[in-house]
Chain A
Amino acid sequence: MPGSLFSTVFSHGRALFIAVAWAVWLWSGPAHAGGLSDAGLQWPAWQELLRVLTLRDYNTRVVIVGTTLLGLAAGLSGTFLILRKRALLSDTLSHATLPGIALAFILMTVFFGNGKSLVGLIAGAAVFAVLGTGSVLLIQRYSRLKDDAALGVVLSVYFGLGIAIMGIATRMATGNSAGLNSFIYGKTASMLFSDALLIAVTAFVAAVLCLLFFKEFSLVCFDADFALTQGWPVARLDFFMMTLVVVVTVVGLQAVGLILVVALLIIPPSTARFWSHRLSVMLGLSAFFGALSGMLGAAISALMANLPAGAVIVLSASSLFFLSLVFGTNGGLLLMVLERRRLGKKVMHENLLRELYEWQESATQQANVDEKAIEISGPRLEELLPRRSWSVHGLQKGLRQLIRKQWLRPSADGRYLFTPDGLLEARGVVRKHRLWEAYLIAYADTAPGQVDWGADTIEHVLDERIIAELEAGLPDTTPKAIPASPHALPCCEVS
């Protein structure tokens, strides 16, 4: 899966272009803002760009493959993490790894002379991640502290302890502590083939487990109590999920650092949530966004020697997040704004249709009812204007839109007349409005005089099913007929 993703992204010209555009976008701002290139931020040469993006460099290849797979693994395990509402727990446990790393370094230096075995450091980190999580659980269970306070206490205590032990480690006479700091902020440049291999194995295991346990994990995340009554070992499944998170965290420490690794766990699934409300799709998208962030971040960082990879990876992830926040199909802001505008337009149109219809209704009443021959025309703009609090401009715009829809036609003397289609539409709108009014009067104890306003706000969102129920619930309505208005309609003059 990671391999194919990789090759598709790189084989498609368009994807390549997007990647380059991203890279340009990400650093063009600060570069133009001025002065940064003096501080060592250099534009890469075109050849260099091509070399990095086509993975021709062995070192770059290792780093990019490593961070991509890390993003993938984090995206997968992070999905269940945020669905279990444990996002902040992962922040705490990643900070809690620091004393583990420092202690492991000291112990290995004392006993083996070399403190920089990655496996040893990672083991130390994992032990303290578990200790940190355990401390949170203990505090939650045996003290009066609330969850957020417990997380904050554990995070700061372990991180402080870690910094202190780190201080001791760096002052040790033997052992080379240089590079130990990279666990805090992350440093991909030091990534070796073995590190990338470790990440690859982790990513593979995470992917397999998330697929195998998809049903069990999602059940525990959604309704742990129900899972328990069915006999699922919820505590063990929980532990399993958290172990997956701990493993991804500790193998990711070196690449993105313990402060930022949590972003890789949380941001990709949050991004994915804007595109789907199906868990399986969300899981796949989260893995994709995580992998993409890892790849972009590492590539950009390889091009710009002074940009730390961890930070750029997180920035790439958050760029994807903001794009999704705006353009996402599932609760994205743009869609919400468009939807609101669409509704506003619909309300305007329905109000206009109703006013036109009611104007005609009153006109018919004022004229001799028996004389069917009288041609009831339509109101002029000035006659419509005082009926609601609408602006001249808004009213004109609405009328123009209705004419374009061929529901209205303007007459030569400035009146607005229904077309047959428009009349049909208007009858529907008025019927909905009157039914809702009748319902409010019958069931919500609203006085007939006030009911117009109450009906106005809600009626525009009523669908066919609710209208049918309204009709069924009211005693004296004939289906499809328009009930008479329960209150006096504003008057008009007959032409």
Chain B
Amino acid sequence: MSNLFESKSMVDTGQETAPIWINDLTVAYHRKPVLWDVDLVVPEGKLVAVVGPNGAGKSTLIKAILGLVPKATGDVRIYGRSYQAQRRLVGYVPQRESVDWDFPVSAADVVAMGLYGKIGWLKPVSRRHREQAVEELRKVGMEAYADRQISQLSGGQQQRVFLARALAQDARVYFMDEPFAGVDVATEKAIVALLKELQMSGKTCVVVHHDLQTVTTYFDHVVLLNMRVVAAGPVEEVFTEENLKKTYGGKLTLLTQALHKYAQQPGLGTGGTKGGRR
């Protein structure tokens, strides 16, 4: 597999302690593989875009790393240890459509959810935590909306609330699922500024991205994904026309068809992931 970055970093010893280290990851929904034999190493302090066509498994990659979908095979490590052991180092921004925005909570309430892990079992959200939530909202330019019910916010503002919630997690690695999808210009600018700021303070961000035109300006690393990792590494090395053709071109259709056929055969399993979802 042409994993440029991996081959380059093979020289480094201890790459298993990188922020994200993935070895031989396969994920299947209803026995149909969505990710196939993914190897990936993401170095510290990089802004990494994950790009690929629809259904390439971009979101699934993040969800598999975070343990939200079961792995058929493979090993994922965050700073050298399992995700379960390193949760506190990880922040997550899910897709905006994944929740019901008519839920009866305010923007500050949602951001405070990022602190629940620190607050712990059964204890209520204190005034101090609320103040911190408003502080996180300020970082995304949303402090004026702290008490707004979330359905009254625009799509871009909702996205920024999700980002503020991830900031409240105070993590070292951030996973963001399509934060730029359907947002206004102001939000896009705010997210970019935030990403740069996170990078300055040494955090690593993995962002599922759909806009190929902005990859080179927003990110310094890129992962080209189409069920397998087509290429991964610094943008200037990896983000080439040839690699993009490989990612978006029809080369993999035969594999897709074969796997589809395979999934429809009764009695064959891919590691007991029947059902896929939790």
**Residues on A close to B: CB < 8 A?**
83, 85, 141-142, 212-216, 218-219, 221-223, 225-232, 234-235, 273, 276-279, 282
Cβ of B94 and Cβ of A223 under 8 Å apart?
yes
Cβ of A142 and Cβ of B68 under 8 Å apart?
no
Q: Which 5 A-B pairs have the closest CB atoms?
A: A277-B149, A230-B117, A277-B104, A141-B275, A279-B104
B125 within 8 A of A: yes
Cβ of B275 and Cβ of A142 under 8 Å apart?
yes
A contact residues around B109 at 8 Å (CB)? 279
Interface string of B111-147 (1 = CB under 8 A from A): 0010011010111110000000000000000000000
Q: Count B-side interface residues using an 8 Å CB cutoff.
A: 34
Given the interface pairs A273-B104, A276-B104, A277-B149, the reply to whether A228 lies near B110 with Cβ below 8 Å is no
B contact residues around A85 at 8 Å (CB)? 100
Number of A-B residue pairs, CB cutoff 8 Å, is: 79
Return B187 CB to nearest CB of chain A, in Å. 14
A contact residues around B100 at 8 Å (CB)? 85, 222
Partner of A229, one of B90, B110, B119, B125: B90
Cβ of A229 and Cβ of B66 under 8 Å apart?
yes
| Interface-central residue, B109, B113, B124, B149, by most chain A CB under 10 Å | B113
How far, in whole Å, are A421 and B96 apart by their CA atoms in the complex?
A: 46
How far, in whole Å, are A224 and B267 apart by their CA atoms in the complex?
A: 32
Cβ of A231 and Cβ of B117 under 8 Å apart?
yes
Cβ of A230 and Cβ of B68 under 8 Å apart?
no
Return A299 CB to nearest CB of chain B, in Å. 31
Cβ of A228 and Cβ of B67 under 8 Å apart?
yes
| Interface-central residue, B103, B151, B169, by most chain A CB under 10 Å | B103
Partner of B105, one of A218, A225, A273: A218
How far, in whole Å, are A221 and B104 apart by their CA atoms in the complex?
A: 11
Cβ of A230 and Cβ of B116 under 8 Å apart?
yes
A contact residues around B94 at 8 Å (CB)? 223, 225-226
B contact residues around A235 at 8 Å (CB)? 278
How far, in whole Å, are A228 and B125 apart by their CA atoms in the complex?
A: 19
| Interface-central residue, A214, A221, A225, A231, by most chain B CB under 10 Å | A225
Cβ of B87 and Cβ of A223 under 8 Å apart?
no
Closest to B120 in A: A215
Given the interface pairs A228-B68, A229-B66, the reply to whether A223 lies near B98 with Cβ below 8 Å is yes
How far, in whole Å, are A14 and B110 apart by their CA atoms in the complex?
A: 39
Return A332 CB to nearest CB of chain B, in Å. 15
| Interface-central residue, B94, B109, B116, B165, by most chain A CB under 10 Å | B116
Closest to A273 in B: B104
B219 within 8 A of A: no
Cβ of B275 and Cβ of A215 under 8 Å apart?
no
Partner of A226, one of B92, B103, B106, B149: B92
Return B60 CB to nearest CB of chain A, in Å. 13
Return A215 CB to nearest CB of chain B, in Å. 6
A contact residues around B113 at 8 Å (CB)? 219, 222-223, 226
Interface string of B250-277 (1 = CB under 8 A from A): 0000000000000000000000001100
Given the interface pairs A223-B94, A231-B84, A278-B104, the reply to whether A215 lies near B119 with Cβ below 8 Å is yes
A contact residues around B149 at 8 Å (CB)? 277
Cβ of A230 and Cβ of B87 under 8 Å apart?
yes
How far, in whole Å, are A150 and B237 apart by their CA atoms in the complex?
A: 51
B contact residues around A282 at 8 Å (CB)? 104
What are 16 A-B contacts defined by CB distance under 8 Å?
A: A83-B104, A141-B274, A215-B125, A219-B113, A222-B103, A222-B105, A222-B110, A222-B113, A226-B165, A228-B66, A228-B68, A229-B67, A229-B68, A230-B169, A278-B106, A282-B104
Which residues between 183 and 239 of chain B lie within 8 Å of chain A, taking CB atoms? none
Closest to B169 in A: A230
Cβ of B87 and Cβ of A229 under 8 Å apart?
yes
How far, in whole Å, are A142 and B276 apart by their CA atoms in the complex?
A: 10
B contact residues around A279 at 8 Å (CB)? 103-105, 109
How far, in whole Å, are A214 and B87 apart by their CA atoms in the complex?
A: 23
Partner of B124, one of A214, A234, A273, A276: A214
B contact residues around A212 at 8 Å (CB)? 122
Cβ of A223 and Cβ of B99 under 8 Å apart?
yes
Closest to A282 in B: B104
Interface string of B43-87 (1 = CB under 8 A from A): 000000000000000000001001110000000000000001001
Given the interface pairs A229-B66, A229-B67, A229-B92, the reply to whether A222 lies near B99 with Cβ below 8 Å is yes
How far, in whole Å, are A105 and B90 apart by their CA atoms in the complex?
A: 53
| Interface-central residue, A214, A228, A229, by most chain B CB under 10 Å | A229
A contact residues around B122 at 8 Å (CB)? 212-213, 215-216
Partner of A83, one of B67, B103, B106: B103
B contact residues around A214 at 8 Å (CB)? 124
A contact residues around B110 at 8 Å (CB)? 222
Return B205 CB to nearest CB of chain A, in Å. 15
B contact residues around A218 at 8 Å (CB)? 105
Closest to A218 in B: B105
Known: A225-B92, A277-B104. 10 other contacts (CB 8 A): A141-B274, A142-B275, A215-B125, A219-B116, A222-B105, A222-B113, A226-B92, A228-B66, A229-B68, A279-B105
How far, in whole Å, are A483 and B151 apart by their CA atoms in the complex?
A: 35
Closest to B87 in A: A231
Cβ of A225 and Cβ of B68 under 8 Å apart?
yes
Return B175 CB to nearest CB of chain A, in Å. 9
Closest to A238 in B: B278
A contact residues around B169 at 8 Å (CB)? 230
Closest to B91 in A: A229
How far, in whole Å, are A75 and B109 apart by their CA atoms in the complex?
A: 22
Return A350 CB to nearest CB of chain B, in Å. 24
Closest to A214 in B: B124
How far, in whole Å, are A213 and B121 apart by their CA atoms in the complex?
A: 8
Closest to B277 in A: A141
How far, in whole Å, are A279 and B103 apart by their CA atoms in the complex?
A: 8
Return A229 CB to nearest CB of chain B, in Å. 5
Closest to B151 in A: A277
Return A97 CB to nearest CB of chain B, in Å. 27
Closest to A469 in B: B186
How far, in whole Å, are A219 and B110 apart by their CA atoms in the complex?
A: 9
Return B133 CB to nearest CB of chain A, in Å. 13
Return A495 CB to nearest CB of chain B, in Å. 48
How far, in whole Å, are A273 and B103 apart by their CA atoms in the complex?
A: 10
